[in-house]
Structure formats: structure tokens, C-alpha cells
Chains A and B, each alone.
Chain A
Amino acid sequence: MADIVFDALTRWYGDTPQRRVLDDVSGQIRGGEFVVVVGRSGSGKSTLLNLLGGLDLPSRGTVRIGDVDMATLNDRRITELRRARMGFIFQSYNLIPTLSVADNLRLPLSLNGLPEDNRVAEWLDRVGLDGRQEAWPDQLSGGEQQRVAIARALIHGPEFIFADEPTGNLDLDNAERVIALLDGLCRESGRTLIMATHAREVVGLADQLLTIRDGRLVDAGAAA
């Protein structure tokens, strides 16, 4: 698994460089690590995740994934990289509402030209939703939707998983289940998991903790 190295990442919006959402953030994430990015709401954690995952472009600074400098890639190449090597999990699940559960899982396979084999059924079983292939997203609870989202993010075997506040809309029980599921699935396959959260109970599971405050990285290191 490749490492992610980011250097002096800075992001501002519009013509106001003095109002930086992220300011001069540098660090390294080793392949296979579980990294948690913590900070209050509005601290810049989601922005950091978006920059590392190629969902947004930095105003300044670099991101390297392995030996690939993201700044040298055009949109098409970044998209190809996301397609093949990354999976995303969002706070509001973001399942495709007009596709069934099974089709939501088939989509990343189809995009990558991978055969379905029995993967859809297997992954639904792994996230505890066996038999729900033909359900629609709006027929699932929040926890169930997030579990489908996890399966969708992992089914095509990406190296990197980016999870932005995956438990933000869940109750405590569901949140714990989702975190445990995600951690377990990533560790068993050696995937790199980068999670932004303001829930400090997740900290204990992480290999590395990045603390963001007012857009700056105030602490980075092994989780206590």
C-alpha cells in the first residue's frame, strides 16, 4: 500500500487568501494506517480529507500518493485514480436514491470493469444486510444506509478509504457498530483508512491522530 504525503497544504476560497480554511498543513500517512483527523466543527478536517482524496484542489501545497504528485494530474487522471484506488463514505450516506441497494454496490464494480461474481451478496452479508439487495435507500434506516455506503466504498478493493464524519447522523449504538465494522474491514485487508470526526471515542482505535484547530495542524502522532 502506498503512503500519502502532504506538504504545506493550504486552502482558501474566493479572493480572500487571508481567510484560510486550511493553513500550511503537512504530514504523512503510511499505507495501511488508520488515521483519525479530529477537530471541532469548522476546524478544517473535512477540507483536509477532500484535498487528500482529490475531491478538491489545494490553493497551495502538494499531495503525493505513492510517487504520484496529484498536482501533475489533470481532472481525468485524478478521476481515474479515485475510481480505482479510493472509496468514500460521507456523513449523509449519499447513496444513489434512484438505484437499489444492489445496484449501488454494483456501480463501483461497473465503473472499474470488474466482474460482479458474488461480490454484492458477499459484501451485503459482511455488513449485516443479507437479503436487502432489492431494497431502496429510502426504505433503510440511517445505520443501514451507512453500512451500504461502507460496502459500496470497499467492494472494488480500493487502497484508501476516506470517511468524513461517518457517524455524524447516527445514534450511539449505530455509530459504534459502524466504526467497528469499518475498522475491521479495513484492517483485515490492510487498507488505509482516513476518518474525519469530532467523536473522540474513535481516537482509541487509530494508529495516528491528526488534530486540526482553526485550519492548522496542532498535533500529529500516534494515538494515545
Chain B
Amino acid sequence: MSPLLGRIGRSDLRRHPLQTGLAVLGVAIAVAVVVAVDMANHSAREALRVSFESVTGVATHQVVGGPDGLDESVYTRIRTEIGFERAAPVVQGGVTVADGPTRSLTLLGLDAFAEGPFQRPLGGEGGLGDAFNDLLLGERSVALGSAEAERLGVSAGDELALRIDGTEVRVDVITVLETEGEAARGLLLADISTAQSLLGRGGELDRIDLIADERQADAIARAIGDGGRVVPAAASANAVFQITRAFQINLTALSLLAVVVGAFLVFNTLSFLAVRRRSTIGVLRSMGVQRHEIIRLMLMDAVLIGALGTAIGLALGFALAHGLVGLVLQTITDVYFAQAAGTLNPSPLSLLAGVLVGLGGALVAAAAPAREAAAIPPRAALSRADLEQRARRLSGFTALAGGGALLLGAALIGFTQGLVPGFAGLFAIILGAAFLAPLFTTLAGTALRPLVRGRPIGGLVVEGAVTSLSRTGVAVAALSVAVAAVIGVSVMIESFRESVIDWLEGSLDADYYVTAQAALDDAVADRLAAPADVAWVSRSRFQELLTAEGPLDVWALELPADQQPAIDVRQGDPADALQALAEERAVLLSEPLAARLALEPGDRVQLPLPDGTADLEVAGVYRDYGSPMGMLLMRRSLYQALYDDDRLSGIGVHVDPAASPSASLQRDLEAAVADVPGAQVIDNAAIFDESLRIFDRTFAITEVLRWLAALVAFVGVVSALMALHLDRRREFAVLRAMGLGRGGMGAVVGGQSGLLGLAAGLWAIPLGLTLAGLLVFVINRRAFGWTMGFELQGMPLLEGVALAVLAALLAAVYPAWRAGREPIARGLKGE
């Protein structure tokens, strides 16, 4: 190919720096969003992995027990009777730092003699060095990783005040171990006997970690019999990874929305380049430049725009990731209760994804405009009329393609079950609607024509907005997609929020909730029920059972005989389900648990017992937004029979309807639990507010990504409409020569832009509502198992239309200003 052809393209891009710059900016923002989300997701996964590995090391299996853990004699049996050496006992419990800002830590009690093969960041005789003996012998000795010590502001030899089960305890930081990165973050290491003493777990273990193959694990399981169960060590981690994966897929899908809009932007820019260069292409074709050389010319421009945009986007993405990672990790900690503290962990694959999106997206977006430019016969390239005819014919094809994409999307959603096919269907629907946007614009113009008949200026506005289909269609499509995303996500979040509020109002039926760091018991519950204004109390025990499929959270509930649980049964007959629950014939599952275990009413669920398993019927599935991992609800009496555990985790206090909650009642309740370490009496309003605060914080990242996608579209439509108006300089010069003043010029340009923006905004409404519906009824269901109501409010729709019109009007400012001030003679020449 002649090098002069490449110079034509580069020179053309340089001569239109504003449009070129906007195209590059659009690509850069799209790349930045993708890179930032991918890096944040990667960092979150790494933080979780490091967090888990800090605790489990390279253990392959774990021996676990019931609610009270394992008797430590089981460990003795494994080491001596069975003779298995790669076993390490673990005691683990949550503590908080007593001084300064509340910080939760995990106290990890290990046997340094057994730790060797497990490669935990803290632990092992070799890792502890000289401090090993001090740790072993000191009654209150702990060790920390260097990163954690720096965060707590302590060093070797200092005392650290902790709160354990409500009681303040001071421990000695005997050594600080050098650890890499975030390894051992949030961990306090102690000798196992020290940990048992501090946590009040004398004679008990939480688990025994094993490094074993399947045959060895089976042999150990048979040998210990009823003494414990052997589960894969990764079960807990895998369960959390599975749940957080759904959250991360949602984030990635949102970031891909920015890519789709960015691709439209590049497509639009290159389409406009092709249109602007039609006469040049015609001349080149008449001079003997082949079609494939024209295609190469266009693709080289795309590579240039894509490369510049990608380079800027990678840098922007890295910066954006620093902010996003905090939001992602906060959400994981808030919602999934997993220790997910960490910092940005850059991944080369994230950068590669950015390059693929930026360069690859630019090339893909350029393909169609390049092919079309090259396919036009040289004669037609010199005539603009044919351009518009061709565009109108093409609009028929794109409308057909749009219809096809809509059908494909509907089929993907209707005939598949997975989350990824769900998103694929959603994107197909977005694309289909985008292809139909130009047709909608044309129909809108047709509908408006009778209104402007006999009004030349009005006709200019309407005709100008719709007749340049070759250039307005893609801009309208891109803007409508982005505005639809703004509307759709807003409606989804509002719907979710309203559902959460409904759920909270329904399930927070107690007036006060009492919890404590130490376990509560029936005596405490009886004291709480004593005040005259108290009608009754509910008694709950929450327990996490470790299974081969991951942790299973159990909620054991006791109510007076005349009371029913305040839950919303969504599958199964509610009356039958609650009856079966009350009669201890069955259990209920929350929606996320039912989805995770793929169970429905009528199925059976297996619960691990200290001496076997219990096989229970599932009577119903209820709505619960409190735990993404899910919850199994059973009567407390059944739980006590299965697990011989009389402790309570929480007590709900119901005030007599004739009375009302009051400060004096709260004092009475607090007095009733004054001797319980760490006990708190919280009114339901405080829980309600905190729950909504966590909800709003969870969706902060969604809001950020939504507006980033809108920003890309905004840049795109500004670029497209500006290019459109600048290309009409001759037309505007004619109008001014005929006597249209600057104000009238502004009105024409602004009116055309505003109409296009309004068309995009109006088209975005049904698309946005469809998106919202899919997010509510399909995506959230498949990702998290949650059902929710659909709450349609007018504000998101108005916001979306206003955004579209505002973007379009802003795009008109510069062209209108220029059209009003350019020398008319020069404009008439088209120079």
C-alpha cells in the first residue's frame, strides 16, 4: 500500500483534533472502566485467597465437629493411634482491639510443633525463630505479621488490649514476623493452649487440619467415627468464592456496558470519517486504489485511535482501580462477611483485557464502516444523495438485525438457566434495541412533520435531525443504550431497596434485639421477658455448620405457641410450610441457600451431626436478604435435639401492644443483661437504619460504574453531534446568507440536537425498563437466588431523558457558536 495513503488518514485525524480527541477519550474511558473493574475483582479474589490461606495454609482436609467443635482427644487419636503425622490442631476465634477504633482480628491458636508442613504465614518453629519458646511458654503471648503490627501501631514487646467475649484481656506481643503483602492480615498467632485459655475453649478444638490424599482422608474419617467429620479444606473458601463470583460477574457486566457504548463511539467516529471522506475515497478509487487498500486505510485510523485511547485508558484504569478496590472489598466484607481486607493487586491479565478491549474493540467497530466505504462504486462516492439513499436502505437491514438480536436475547434468557447466558441475552437485547434506534428516530421525525408543515424553521429543525441518517443513527443508538443503562440500573436499585425495606419491616418484628459476644442462655431470655411491658420474647441460635459443600448457616428459632416466624414464604404453601416447621417435620431454606443447593419444597437436605447426618424435608423457601450464603431455619427444639446445644445467639423482645418502647423499658432490659459480657440491647430502628446504610454502600460501586458508562455515551454523542453540525457548515452559511441571525442559527442547531437527544431519551425508556426487569427477575435471581418486587418510579425515567437532552444540547453549543460567527463566504465555499 502506498505510504501516502496512510498519510491521508493521519493528516485527516490531525486536522480534526476535537473529534479525534473525543473518540480517543471515549475509548480511554471504556478501557479504564474495564481495567479498573478487572483489577478490583482480581484484587478482591486475591485478598480472599490470601485471607483463607493465611488461616488454612496448604491443608487439604479438615476434621470438624458440631457446634462445640472437636474434643482435643480426637487429635491425639489421629497422631498416636492412627499414626498420621501431617495433622495440626487449630483453635480460632474472633476478637476485637479494645483501644482505639474498633478492629476485628482472628486469634489463631496453633501447635508450633505440628505446623511445619502447613506453610501458614505465621507459625512453625522455623518461622518464629527465637520467639518460639516465648510464645510456647507465655500465658498471654501472641505474634503478629509485620503489616498488621504496623496497622495496629504495635511492635515486639508491647502490650495489646483485646476484647474477647466482652471481657478485656491484655496480651503480650512477643514478636513481629516479616510477612509479604497482605499475608496474615488480621491474624494474631498464639500457642494453641494460650488460645484455648483466652477463648474459653479448654479441651476443645475448632478443627484439625490435614495434608492428606483422598484415601488417607477416608481412612481417618473411618477411624475417628463419631468423633468428627472430614471435609475438604477448600469447602469454606469455595463457597465464598462462588457467592462473590456472582457479585464480580455483575461488576464485570456493568463494565462491559461501558465497552459496548465505547465501541459505538468508535463505530460512530469511523462511520463519520468514512462519510466525511466519501469524496476523497471516490477520487482515490477513480485513481485506482483498490478496495482492500481503502479498508486498510480505515483500519489504520481505527488502530491509531484505539492505540492512543488504550494507552490513556490503561493509565486511567490503574488510577480508577485504586478507588474501586476499596469499594469492592468493603462490599464483600459488608455483605459476605468474609475478611476481605487488602490493597490493589495489579494483574497483567487486566492490562491485557484493556488492550483487547481498546484495540480490538476499535478494529471490530471499524470493520463495518471500512467495508462499506470500500464497497461503494467510485461514481456513488462522489454523490451525497446516494449516501443518504444507501443509509435509508441500510436502516432497513439494521432494523432487521435489531429484531433478530432481540429474538436471540429473548431466547437466551428464556431457554437457559445460567448467569453468563443471562447476561449474554441481556446484551443481545441491548444491541437489538440499539439497532432499532435509528428507525425510531425516523418514525419520530415522520410523526413530527405534520406539526412543522408551513413552518420553515421548524421544518429545518425536524428535517435536519432526521434526514442525516447516515450520521445521526449511531449517535442516537449509543446515547439511548447508555441512558437505558442509567434508567435500568436506577429502577433495579430502587426496586431492590423497596424490597429490602419491605423485608426489614416484616422481619424486624421485635422491638428490641439483644446480642452478646458471649453466648446467651434461657435464663437471660427469662429475665428479658420479665418486665411488665414485655409481651413475649423470641429465642434464636445461629450456628455455622461445616459441610463438604461449604458452610451451612442454621437459624434455630423458638417462639411462643401462638406466634409464627416473621418470614415471607415464596415457594411452597406458606401455611403448610409454617405448620411443618412448627411440628418439627421440616425445615425452611432462604432463597440464596435454596439456589446454592438447588433445592425446592419437597426436596430433602442433609445436616451434619456430631455422629452422622440428619435428613430433613424442605417445606418451603423464604425471602431473606440478610445473608447471601443463605440460611436454614428450623425450630429450636429440633436443633437442641440434634446438636445438644442450649445456647442462644440472640433474643428478640416484643413489647405489649398496649404499651410502647420507651427509654425506661430499654434501661430495664439493659439491666437484665448487665452481667452478660458484651451484651447489647438494640432497638429495631437502629438495625433498620444500619441495614439500609450497608445496602446503599453496597451499591455505591454500581452507581460509579453506571455513571461511567453514561460518561462514555456523553462523550460519544458530543463527538457525533459536533461532527454532524460541523459538516453542515455550507448549509448553515446558506441560511445565514438568507438572513437567519445568530440567535436563529443557535435555535436551529440546538433544536436539531435537542430533538435527537429527546429521541434517544424516549427510546431509552422502554429499553431501560426492559433492562430493569431483566436485572430484577433474571440476573439477580440467577446470581444470588433473590426474588424482589419491581418498583417503577418516575424520577429515573425523567433523569434519563434529561441526561440525553442535556448531552445533545451541550453538543450543540460549539457548532452553534461557530455557525453564527464564521464568515459566510467561507462557509459557502465549504472550506
Chain A residues in the interface with B (C-beta under 8 A): 50, 53, 55-57, 75-76, 79-84, 86, 88, 90, 94, 96-99, 103, 106-108, 110-112, 138
With A94-B279, A111-B2 already in contact, the answer to whether A79 and B377 are too (CB < 8 A) is no
Asked if B287 and A111 sit within 8 Å, CB to CB, the answer is yes
Asked if A88 and B287 sit within 8 Å, CB to CB, the answer is yes
Kindly report which residue of chain A lies nearest to residue B14, judged by CB atoms: A98
Asked if B378 and A84 sit within 8 Å, CB to CB, the answer is no
The docked-state distance in angstroms from the alpha carbon of A129 to that of B286 is: 24
Kindly report which residue of chain B lies nearest to residue A164, judged by CB atoms: B382
The docked-state distance in angstroms from the alpha carbon of A96 to that of B291 is: 17
| Chain B nearest Cβ from A89, distance in angstroms | 10
The docked-state distance in angstroms from the alpha carbon of A82 to that of B282 is: 13
B12 contacts the other chain (CB 8 A)? yes
With A94-B279, A97-B280 already in contact, the answer to whether A53 and B7 are too (CB < 8 A) is no
Asked if A138 and B831 sit within 8 Å, CB to CB, the answer is yes
With A55-B378, A96-B280, A138-B831 already in contact, the answer to whether A83 and B288 are too (CB < 8 A) is yes
B706 contacts the other chain (CB 8 A)? no
Kindly report which residue of chain B lies nearest to residue A14, judged by CB atoms: B389
The docked-state distance in angstroms from the alpha carbon of A216 to that of B479 is: 50
Asked if A111 and B377 sit within 8 Å, CB to CB, the answer is no
Beyond known contacts A57-B377, A82-B287, A90-B382: 5 more, CB 8 A cutoff: A55-B285, A55-B378, A90-B283, A94-B382, A110-B2
Asked if A96 and B8 sit within 8 Å, CB to CB, the answer is yes
- Quick one: which of B12, B291, B379 has the most chain A CB within 10 A? B379
Asked if B288 and A111 sit within 8 Å, CB to CB, the answer is yes
B101 contacts the other chain (CB 8 A)? no
| Chain B nearest Cβ from A215, distance in angstroms | 16
The docked-state distance in angstroms from the alpha carbon of A37 to that of B291 is: 30
| Chain A nearest Cβ from B382, distance in angstroms | 7
The docked-state distance in angstroms from the alpha carbon of A81 to that of B831 is: 32
The docked-state distance in angstroms from the alpha carbon of A197 to that of B83 is: 107
With A56-B377, A57-B377, A90-B382 already in contact, the answer to whether A99 and B4 are too (CB < 8 A) is yes
Selected contact of A108 from candidates B285, B287, B378, CB within 8 Å:
B287
A interface majority secondary structure = helix
Q: Which 3 A-B pairs have the closest CB atoms?
A: A83-B288, A98-B11, A56-B379
Kindly report which residue of chain A lies nearest to residue B279, judged by CB atoms: A94
Which residues of chain B have C-beta atoms less than 8 A from A50's C-beta? 379
The docked-state distance in angstroms from the alpha carbon of A97 to that of B281 is: 12
Kindly report which residue of chain A lies nearest to residue B377, judged by CB atoms: A56
B453 contacts the other chain (CB 8 A)? no
B215 contacts the other chain (CB 8 A)? no
| Chain A nearest Cβ from B625, distance in angstroms | 59
| Chain A nearest Cβ from B372, distance in angstroms | 15
| Chain A nearest Cβ from B69, distance in angstroms | 77
B806 contacts the other chain (CB 8 A)? no
Q: Mark B214-231, 1 if CB is under 8 A from A, else 0.
A: 000000000000000000
Chain B residues in the interface with A (C-beta under 8 A): 2-4, 7-8, 11-12, 15, 279-280, 282-291, 377-380, 382, 831
Kindly report which residue of chain A lies nearest to residue B292, judged by CB atoms: A76
Which residues of chain A have C-beta atoms less than 8 A from B288's C-beta? 79-84, 86, 108, 111-112
Kindly report which residue of chain B lies nearest to residue A108, judged by CB atoms: B287
The docked-state distance in angstroms from the alpha carbon of A99 to that of B10 is: 10
The docked-state distance in angstroms from the alpha carbon of A41 to that of B377 is: 22
Which residues of chain A have C-beta atoms less than 8 A from B284's C-beta? 96
Which residues of chain B have C-beta atoms less than 8 A from A80's C-beta? 288, 290
| Chain B nearest Cβ from A157, distance in angstroms | 13
15 A–B contact pairs at CB < 8 A? A53-B286, A55-B286, A75-B291, A79-B289, A79-B291, A80-B290, A82-B287, A88-B286, A96-B280, A96-B283, A96-B284, A98-B8, A98-B12, A99-B11, A106-B4
Which residues of chain B have C-beta atoms less than 8 A from A98's C-beta? 7-8, 11-12, 15, 280
The docked-state distance in angstroms from the alpha carbon of A80 to that of B282 is: 15
Which residues of chain B have C-beta atoms less than 8 A from A84's C-beta? 288
The docked-state distance in angstroms from the alpha carbon of A57 to that of B280 is: 20
| Chain B nearest Cβ from A21, distance in angstroms | 11
The docked-state distance in angstroms from the alpha carbon of A103 to that of B280 is: 14
The docked-state distance in angstroms from the alpha carbon of A116 to that of B218 is: 84
| Chain B nearest Cβ from A118, distance in angstroms | 18
Asked if B291 and A107 sit within 8 Å, CB to CB, the answer is no
The docked-state distance in angstroms from the alpha carbon of A57 to that of B378 is: 10
Asked if B290 and A76 sit within 8 Å, CB to CB, the answer is yes
Asked if A82 and B11 sit within 8 Å, CB to CB, the answer is no
Which residues of chain B have C-beta atoms less than 8 A from A110's C-beta? 2-4
The docked-state distance in angstroms from the alpha carbon of A75 to that of B292 is: 11
| Chain B nearest Cβ from A25, distance in angstroms | 16
The docked-state distance in angstroms from the alpha carbon of A50 to that of B383 is: 13
Asked if B4 and A107 sit within 8 Å, CB to CB, the answer is yes
Which residues of chain B have C-beta atoms less than 8 A from A138's C-beta? 831
| Chain A nearest Cβ from B10, distance in angstroms | 8
Which residues of chain A have C-beta atoms less than 8 A from B380's C-beta? 56
| Chain B nearest Cβ from A212, distance in angstroms | 17
Kindly report which residue of chain B lies nearest to residue A81, judged by CB atoms: B288
Asked if B379 and A55 sit within 8 Å, CB to CB, the answer is yes
The docked-state distance in angstroms from the alpha carbon of A50 to that of B377 is: 11
Asked if B280 and A107 sit within 8 Å, CB to CB, the answer is no
The docked-state distance in angstroms from the alpha carbon of A96 to that of B9 is: 11
Which residues of chain A have C-beta atoms less than 8 A from B4's C-beta? 99, 103, 106-107, 110
Which residues of chain A have C-beta atoms less than 8 A from B2's C-beta? 107, 110-111
Which residues of chain B have C-beta atoms less than 8 A from A86's C-beta? 288
Kindly report which residue of chain B lies nearest to residue A80, judged by CB atoms: B288
With A55-B378, A98-B15 already in contact, the answer to whether A83 and B831 are too (CB < 8 A) is no
| Chain B nearest Cβ from A93, distance in angstroms | 10
Which residues of chain B have C-beta atoms less than 8 A from A81's C-beta? 288
The docked-state distance in angstroms from the alpha carbon of A79 to that of B288 is: 5
| Chain A nearest Cβ from B490, distance in angstroms | 44
Asked if A83 and B11 sit within 8 Å, CB to CB, the answer is no
- Quick one: which of B12, B282, B286 has the most chain A CB within 10 A? B286
The docked-state distance in angstroms from the alpha carbon of A154 to that of B117 is: 84
Which residues of chain B have C-beta atoms less than 8 A from A56's C-beta? 377-380
Kindly report which residue of chain B lies nearest to residue A75, judged by CB atoms: B291
| Chain A nearest Cβ from B797, distance in angstroms | 42
| Chain A nearest Cβ from B664, distance in angstroms | 85
The docked-state distance in angstroms from the alpha carbon of A138 to that of B830 is: 10
The docked-state distance in angstroms from the alpha carbon of A96 to that of B281 is: 9
Which residues of chain A have C-beta atoms less than 8 A from B282's C-beta? 94
Asked if A94 and B283 sit within 8 Å, CB to CB, the answer is yes
With A55-B286, A83-B288, A107-B287 already in contact, the answer to whether A99 and B8 are too (CB < 8 A) is yes
| Chain A nearest Cβ from B282, distance in angstroms | 8
Kindly report which residue of chain A lies nearest to residue B381, judged by CB atoms: A55
The docked-state distance in angstroms from the alpha carbon of A112 to that of B15 is: 28
The docked-state distance in angstroms from the alpha carbon of A55 to that of B378 is: 5
Kindly report which residue of chain A lies nearest to residue B9, judged by CB atoms: A98
The docked-state distance in angstroms from the alpha carbon of A98 to that of B280 is: 10
The docked-state distance in angstroms from the alpha carbon of A52 to that of B15 is: 35
| Chain B nearest Cβ from A117, distance in angstroms | 17
The docked-state distance in angstroms from the alpha carbon of A96 to that of B282 is: 10
The docked-state distance in angstroms from the alpha carbon of A152 to that of B147 is: 72
Which residues of chain B have C-beta atoms less than 8 A from A90's C-beta? 283, 382
The docked-state distance in angstroms from the alpha carbon of A69 to that of B287 is: 20
The docked-state distance in angstroms from the alpha carbon of A56 to that of B377 is: 7
Asked if B7 and A103 sit within 8 Å, CB to CB, the answer is yes
- Quick one: which of B2, B282, B289 has the most chain A CB within 10 A? B2
Selected contact of A79 from candidates B11, B12, B279, B285, CB within 8 Å:
B285
Kindly report which residue of chain B lies nearest to residue A57, judged by CB atoms: B377
The docked-state distance in angstroms from the alpha carbon of A110 to that of B291 is: 16
| Chain A nearest Cβ from B733, distance in angstroms | 16
Which residues of chain A have C-beta atoms less than 8 A from B8's C-beta? 96, 98-99
Kindly report which residue of chain B lies nearest to residue A112, judged by CB atoms: B288
The docked-state distance in angstroms from the alpha carbon of A186 to that of B282 is: 24
The docked-state distance in angstroms from the alpha carbon of A107 to that of B286 is: 12
The docked-state distance in angstroms from the alpha carbon of A22 to that of B635 is: 92
Which residues of chain B have C-beta atoms less than 8 A from A106's C-beta? 4
The docked-state distance in angstroms from the alpha carbon of A218 to that of B15 is: 48
Kindly report which residue of chain B lies nearest to residue A137, judged by CB atoms: B831
Asked if A111 and B289 sit within 8 Å, CB to CB, the answer is yes
